[in-house]
Structure 1
Amino acid sequence: MAWDESPTVFVNNWNPWCNANALLCYMLLENDRDKLAKAVYKSMISVDRYLNYVKADGACEEGATYWGHAFGKLFDYLQELQMITGGKVSLFNNKLVKDMGEFVAKSYIGNGYAVNFADASAHVSNYMALVYRCGKALGSREMMDMAVDCFKEKPETVTSVWLDTYKQIEAMKVLKEMSQAKGGYKADAFTWYPQTEFCYMRNAEAFFAGKGGYNDESHNHNDIGSFVLYYDNTPIMIDAGVGTYTRQTFSSERYTIWTMQGNYHNIPMINGVPEMYGKKYKATNARADRRTMSFSVELASAYPKEACVDSWVRSYQLKKSKLTVSDNFKLSQTKAANIVNFLTWGDVDISKKGVVSINVKGVKAQLNYDTNTFEPSIETIELNDKRLSDVWGKKIYRLSLKAKTTAKSGIYKYEITKK
């Protein structure tokens, strides 16, 4: 309930989720007006602390498909609060609330895919009636059009609304309206969340999302500086996401799971050392530039002292169908060869020197690298967890570019292009 506002306490989707459910129960069951008033007020204090926790840019650090559990439940709560107060308490004109709502639309890529940092899935969740309702309440054409487009690709029914009778009842009010709406979602070419440090760039052929942040976010993965890349709304460079939740997922053993580890994201292992978990492991100097369609972030603070890294600036620039990725680094000493990892899927071929060929469902791309600098290798990752295989199929691949020599400073450059 966020009574303890210490810096180590997460205030994530559980807060609005539980408050929305508790408030609804009070609204239905409590006939003593004084007790009801106290319950409403107590819930308001709790949810206010959730809103204070969310960064000012409105992004959901838990990932886009967690939006339905985070802002989606906040929306339920605010709708209930508006009802029980006869409209006297309403936050639907609040800028932060609107920005939080529109995050789901801005994170939508197309073809049923969404940005999937942290524990989110790359598949869009089946909650478009919720997105549409939120869009109507917030006056967001962007959300409404995105919801209609997704609804036309994969129509919802009342019974497909996940585990939630309240949402099912509310969905009944808009499903017919959605089926008759035109849609036509038009995404922004450039989106920057300066506090959460998410950057999205897109054009007619490509979509890029990169991140900074820190390695103690809600549902955290050690993924500072990582990115995803899509061509024709098809994922090429990917974030695997997360497997089925178990006891281990939310225990001290979380980072023994490969999907959480830095060396299974699109970032380097420096001196043989991956990124580490903890609030002190963070990005610095994250910058995004709409004019040059670029994003960069300093990664040095994301690694422990054993990595001996003074500076490692990861930079991205998107031009039409080409993404240029570069690593400008300075090390205090060298202990082991640097390894730069990329996750991908589909048909992958590294037999031609300097080129990694990728074919995903007929969408072809290639990653070009310097053969004098790197030796490539491929690891096949078998996906035995249904939550992962439902998205990516039976296997994905980790492409590793291992530096042939050790150096205290240098610049690595890679180009990913659509063929």
Structure 2
Amino acid sequence: MLTRLVREIHEEAERARTSPAPELTFSLWRRFADGGDRLAYEGAYFERRRRLAALLLAAHLDDRPDPALDDLLWSVCDEYSWVLPAHEPKGGDPNAFVDLFAAETAQTLAEGVRLLGGHVDARVRARVRAEVERRVFAPLEAGTMWWESARHNWSAVCAGAAGAAALALGADRVVARLEGAMEAFLSGTGADGACLEGPDYWAYGFGYFVYFAEALREHTGEDLLDDPHVREMAAYPARVDLGDGTRPAFADAQARGVYPAGLLSRLSERLGVPVPVTAGEPSFHDDPCYRWAHLSRTLWWAREVPVAEPGPHTYLPDAGIVVARSGGAAFAAKGGHNDEPHNHLDVGTFVLHARGETVLDDLGAPEYTRDYFREGRYLVPQASAEWHSIPLVEGRGQVPGPERRAEVLEHAVDGDAVTFALDLTAAYAVPCLERLTRTFRWRPGRLELTDAFGFTTRDARVSEVFVSRRRPVLRDGRVAWGPVALEVPAGWRAEADELAVRGHDGEQQTVHRVRLSARVPSGAHRFTFTVDG
């Protein structure tokens, strides 16, 4: 199953030997601070990491030295900073801070030179050790990083990558320093094991936790995976799978991301958890950041593992997520709150999947810019309430905050029928809105969505929003998105619009929104979707 990966490693290594690597210039570095553009610098940065991973892995596979690798290792040691401009501390030295990518670079260099031994020039090995000490180990020992108490991917990735680098270089003093960060990461997940940041960040944060845990087990015998909570976290991807390797793109996720094959194989082997369907053989290009940890573990660990067909139903009570599957169609909805990691204003949103396509969709992660991680976050369509499949009341959507949460009122399963009811009242700050509950009733081929409003006024203007990447067809009181159709209830007016947005990788996308609008009194309003699976 690794034929493609090995071929691509050698192809990429040859490309790295025969063409110059991009420079990380000041002009690229300043673009984030001056205009909020992350992609210009990061494009060159990750191209360099792409070349580095390819040359390291090719030298490992071929068991021989490579002068081009020595040159690139030396060049990476020359970089102004391993920290990305987006993470540069205000008014501080970027080399006094350890971010995700500084830690990842340290792991790549440290594990790479240890793996290759004498195939890397002794002077380059010494330079690598000195730079990892200066840029990562010394700052960690000098003070506490903010991410050490973070309950999301930062703590796992930074501590996991730095810890793996320390194990590779024999700097055991650093490993003990990072125990608290790993505990913080694990504490950010409820007993149900759900990753609130979405499946892509599960692969990132939990992946680095596993990579570090296995390196630690090899080094000391201590087994961090031997824990019931870790087992629940490992099972998350299969639990949210929509039935064909697709997943709901809640938070900053993508519906068709790729899980690292080595990670899934190791979790299946060690913990016996089911793994989701994956598409094709592993590729060198599965991760656009070309992370050494993912690539090397896929090369070393990936095996053919049994893929369990997902059952008809999953419920993750801590996250407030339900997934139901039947006959090639699936439905997923989430409760949660509006201050989750990588949060969107999306309490009560849902997706509908049929014929291998998520038809009513969540737009997932946008292009990351400076403003997206500052006050402008909820102006970005992908994170805004207005571009999720939830109601607007008097033209107003949901608001952010940890108290803006859904209360699960009911979760019931009767054969292949599922009922999931949420109280969404707290997610809104609309003066006339006294109560709002949303109830999903799913059975094969049919989803009934009932929103019940309680107003302090005689009536209020409501817009029910339904988001898709597929252009809707509005005709004769009916809305159709290919295999999904909605009958427009009497008294509601349907209109559609579209918007050009930038996806996570900066590509232009066109997305579509249907709004059913009416001025309605207090009471329940039902919308029925038929699904042709």
Q: TM-score, normalization: structure 2?
A: 0.68
For the Cα contact (< 8 Å) 1:108–1:114, is it kept in 2? Answer: yes
Map of 1:377 onto structure 2: 495
Q: Cα RMSD (Å) of the superposition?
A: 2.4
Corresponding position: 1:350 with 2:350:
no
Map of 1:101 onto structure 2: 234
| 1:313-392 superposed matches below 5 A | 313-333=437-457, 336-353=460-477, 355-359=478-482, 364-372=483-491, 374-385=492-503, 387=505
For the Cα contact (< 8 Å) 2:150–2:181, is it kept in 1? Answer: no
Q: Distance in 2 between matches of 1:334 and 1:44?
A: 57
Corresponding position: 1:402 with 2:528:
no
Q: Distance in 1 between matches of 2:150 and 2:211?
A: 21
Q: Distance in 2 between matches of 1:312 and 1:100?
A: 32
Structure 1, residues 23-53: CA drift from partner, whole Å, max 9, x if none?
112112245xxxx2x4222211221122122
Q: Distance in 1 between matches of 2:258 and 2:485?
A: 30
| 1:225-264 superposed matches below 5 A | 225-264=348-387
For the structure 1 residues 307 and 233, does the alpha-carbon distance in structure 2 shift closer, same or farther, using more than 3 Å as the test?
Answer: farther
Match of 2:193 among 45, 49, 58: 58
Q: Distance in 1 between matches of 2:192 and 2:245?
A: 25
Aligned length: 387
For the structure 1 residues 286 and 98, does the alpha-carbon distance in structure 2 shift closer, same or farther, using more than 3 Å as the test?
Answer: farther
For the structure 1 residues 238 and 109, does the alpha-carbon distance in structure 2 shift closer, same or farther, using more than 3 Å as the test?
Answer: same
Match of 2:323 among 200, 221, 233: 200
For the Cα contact (< 8 Å) 1:324–1:415, is it kept in 2? Answer: yes
For the Cα contact (< 8 Å) 1:158–1:171, is it kept in 2? Answer: no
Corresponding position: 1:173 with 2:300:
yes
For the structure 1 residues 93 and 82, does the alpha-carbon distance in structure 2 shift closer, same or farther, using more than 3 Å as the test?
Answer: same
Match of 1:79 among 211, 214, 230: 214
Match of 2:281 among 141, 146, 155: 155
Q: Distance in 1 between matches of 2:504 and 2:225?
A: 38
Q: Distance in 2 between matches of 1:4 and 1:295?
A: 41
SS in 1 for 2:496: strand
Structure 1, residues 195-234: CA drift from partner, whole Å, max 9, x if none?
1111111111321111111100000000000001111332
Q: Distance in 2 between matches of 1:157 and 1:17?
A: 22
SS in 1 for 2:311: coil
Corresponding position: 1:139 with 2:275:
no
For the structure 1 residues 285 and 114, does the alpha-carbon distance in structure 2 shift closer, same or farther, using more than 3 Å as the test?
Answer: closer
For the structure 1 residues 63 and 159, does the alpha-carbon distance in structure 2 shift closer, same or farther, using more than 3 Å as the test?
Answer: closer
For the structure 1 residues 293 and 386, does the alpha-carbon distance in structure 2 shift closer, same or farther, using more than 3 Å as the test?
Answer: closer
Q: Distance in 2 between matches of 1:4 and 1:301?
A: 34
For the Cα contact (< 8 Å) 2:243–2:309, is it kept in 1? Answer: no
Map of 2:436 onto structure 1: 312
| Per-residue deviation, 1:66 | 1.5
Task: Name the structure with the higher helix share.
Answer: 2
Q: TM-score, normalization: structure 1?
A: 0.86
What letter matches 1:63 in structure 2?
A: G
Structure 1, residues 292-333: CA drift from partner, whole Å, max 9, x if none?
4111100000001x3422211101011111011011111122
Map of 2:166 onto structure 1: 26
For the structure 1 residues 345 and 160, does the alpha-carbon distance in structure 2 shift closer, same or farther, using more than 3 Å as the test?
Answer: closer
Q: Distance in 2 between matches of 1:5 and 1:55?
A: 22
For the Cα contact (< 8 Å) 2:496–2:515, is it kept in 1? Answer: yes
For the structure 1 residues 79 and 184, does the alpha-carbon distance in structure 2 shift closer, same or farther, using more than 3 Å as the test?
Answer: closer
- Specify every segment of 5 or more residues in structure 2 that has no aligned partner in the other structure, as ranges: 1-139
Corresponding position: 1:116 with 2:249:
yes
| Per-residue deviation, 1:154 | 2.4
What letter matches 1:96 in structure 2?
A: H
Structure 1, residues 131-164: CA drift from partner, whole Å, max 9, x if none?
1222212122x12xx3xx41xx321135645532
Q: Distance in 1 between matches of 2:403 and 2:198?
A: 21
Structure 1, residues 391-410: CA drift from partner, whole Å, max 9, x if none?
xxx4221100001x332x11
Q: Which moved more, 1:110-119 or 1:58-67?
A: 110-119
What letter matches 1:156 in structure 2?
A: P
What letter matches 1:232 in structure 2?
A: R
For the Cα contact (< 8 Å) 2:196–2:340, is it kept in 1? Answer: yes
| Per-residue deviation, 1:384 | 4.5
For the Cα contact (< 8 Å) 1:205–1:321, is it kept in 2? Answer: no
For the Cα contact (< 8 Å) 2:421–2:439, is it kept in 1? Answer: yes
SS in 1 for 2:203: coil
Structure 1, residues 275-304: CA drift from partner, whole Å, max 9, x if none?
001112111234321224111100000001
- Specify every segment of 5 or more residues in structure 1 that has no aligned partner in the other structure, as ranges: none
For the structure 1 residues 204 and 389, does the alpha-carbon distance in structure 2 shift closer, same or farther, using more than 3 Å as the test?
Answer: farther
What letter matches 2:219 in structure 1?
A: I
For the structure 1 residues 55 and 3, does the alpha-carbon distance in structure 2 shift closer, same or farther, using more than 3 Å as the test?
Answer: farther
What letter matches 2:530 in structure 1?
A: T
What letter matches 1:416 in structure 2?
A: F
Map of 2:404 onto structure 1: 281
